[in-house]
Amino acid sequence: MGRLFAAFLAALALSGCSHGDESLANANMSLIEHKLAAGVMTEGDAQASFGPPRNVGNDKNGNPWWRYDLSEKHASPIDYIPVVGMTVAENDRIYVRSLLLIFDKQGVLKNWSYVEALRQHHIGL
């Protein structure tokens, strides 16, 4: 019984919660740089690589932009200990990735930016 409980706690500790575009789950700057080529990649190529965008719009010049975002929360193992998890101050780590693609009016990639950041969220009393 003790081993089962320990295995359960280990699984909870290793679990994380993600929200957003899963196409960015394994992304990093070198992978993004390898996939994107300004002046070459089209909207169709971008959709084939990253899937349909969740956020779209147009800049002030009428050029379309697409944004992909992903947030992954990784909790601390102490969060799962009854009472202790609510009272002991811990930090949740939130990994954020955001990819912005700007196309020209013909649908060819004009510019892009990729941001990867770690935010710490303080919880507890």
DSSP state of 50: H
In the chain, where the domains are located? 2-123
pLDDT at 12 over 90: no
**Residue 95 pLDDT grade (very low, low, confident, very high; cuts 50, 70, 90):** confident
Q: What is the pLDDT of residue 32?
A: 79
Q: What is the pLDDT of residues 33-90, one digit of tens each?
A: 778 888 899 999 999 888 899 899 999 999 999 999 888 776 666 666 666 655 555 5
pTM score, whole prediction? 0.66
Residue 122 one-letter amino acid: H
* DSSP for 90-107, written as a single string: EEEEEEEEEEEEEE-TTS
Structure letter (DSSP) for residue 124: -
Q: How would residue 6 be classed by pLDDT, with cut points 50, 70 and 90?
A: very low
pLDDT at residue 4 in the model: 45
Backbone angles phi, psi at 97, to 5 degrees: -125, 135
